[in-house]
A = this chain, B = another copy of it.
């Protein structure tokens, strides 16, 4: 079974938006063994949409569209899908009820134009969308299967996982499994990882190994093909063990784990609690941690500080505490770590004293320092200084990554004070 992905929306042809939906859909389809042969993008234009959808149905077994299901005049996907498969649009009262319910929940007025979202091509299987107001549908037409999903990435992903992939898996029956495992590392360069496992990358064919660098994070992707999930898992397991041996202590997590989810688990396992005093990370550390379920039991609070006055007010630091130190220094970071831990009654305190951005926020400026300190037990600190150049947002992101990795290593005893 092969597929074509059709992304619909004039904004994508203006180039002001980068399409991430198609890559997600392609990856998920490949995982269940459905090869993607083409991706097409077309604007909100009836004639051109008709051409692209007809052609896609001719050349692929399954066509999946994204976008054009909203309530506005521009949203033509339903109509064109009905036309190219020779159907009428029919109202589904249960979809209408569900859309109205979402509006009620969100306390937003339900306007007339939203009714059209409850119309789908005759005979199509509706895909309810609890994440938004645009339902999708599956048409089993003569020319092939046509599936339409909304363009909002979160909704599209949810419906892929809960409706489209299960539907296709059932259609496929027995299929070759393609499984991946992603090992994640932070605070280490791509070339260092490449150097450590280069021979494994070159000599492995099933599983294969690939590296992908994100902002401050390296993913090692191990991908196996097999007839069964067990066989795939075994193939991956063997290679993973070799990779882990080469990079002992550096891999913070795997697959859907994040730095913050791993950290919350470690805090729970070690019966520790954390409080955080942030400067140039601007609250990002607190924000990432508080997004994790179970955080309540291990997070005692955070403060975001901008100037000397806020240090003093929020952490009751006496005037003279700063007299002998620079505001941005290792001493200040240690003091912040101690004070925030003390103030919030946590077992661990993290303090960061750092510059918000390079001068003028220019990337090319010289790197500015961030000083990080974790207060472990009385008088014991783990510290680090980190230099980066760039605008405020980049500094926030990178220093947060460094801080979370430092906390992980501190809890596991991988860093010495």
Contact = CB atoms under 8 A, between A and B. Distances in A.
Interface of A: 10-20, 22-30, 35-45, 48, 51-52, 55, 59, 70-74, 103, 105-114, 130-131, 133, 152, 154, 158, 180, 189-192, 194-195, 198, 201-202, 210-213, 215, 221, 223, 276, 278, 280-287, 289-293, 295-296, 299-307, 309-310, 313-314, 343-345, 356-357, 361, 363-364, 366-367, 387-389, 391-394, 396
A35 B12 CA distance: 12
Contacts of A303: 301-304, 314
A22 B41 contact: yes
Contact of A291 (B29, B35, B282): B282
A160 B203 CA distance: 36
A25 B14 CA distance: 9
A15 to B, nearest CB: 3
Given A72-B194, A304-B301, A26 B13 contact: yes
Contact of A18 (B23, B41, B73, B291): B23
7 contacts: A13-B35, A15-B25, A105-B389, A276-B304, A283-B283, A301-B304, A303-B303
Interface centre among A112, A280, A344 (most CB of B within 10 A): A344
Given A36-B13, A301-B313, A211 B72 contact: yes
A345 B210 contact: no
A300 to B, nearest CB: 6
Contacts of A70: 190, 211, 213
Interface centre among A25, A72, A394 (most CB of B within 10 A): A72
B201 A73 contact: yes
A396 to B, nearest CB: 6
A73 B198 contact: yes
Contact of A191 (B23, B113, B195): B113
A252 to B, nearest CB: 18
Contacts of A152: 213, 215
A344 B192 contact: no
A313 B22 contact: no
Contacts of A393: 291
Contact of A287 (B109, B283, B388): B283
Given A43-B37, A392-B293, A113 B16 contact: no
B40 A38 contact: yes
B41 A39 contact: yes
A250 to B, nearest CB: 14
A291 B280 CA distance: 9
Contacts of A11: 210, 212, 221
Contacts of A357: 293
Contacts of A301: 303-306, 310, 313-314
A62 B293 CA distance: 48
Nearest to A392: B291
B313 A191 contact: no
A190 B210 CA distance: 41
Interface centre among A15, A19, A278, A309 (most CB of B within 10 A): A15
Interface centre among A19, A27, A36, A306 (most CB of B within 10 A): A306
A106 B387 contact: yes
A35 B42 CA distance: 12
A112 B192 CA distance: 10
Contacts of A17: 23, 212
Contacts of A13: 26, 30, 35-39
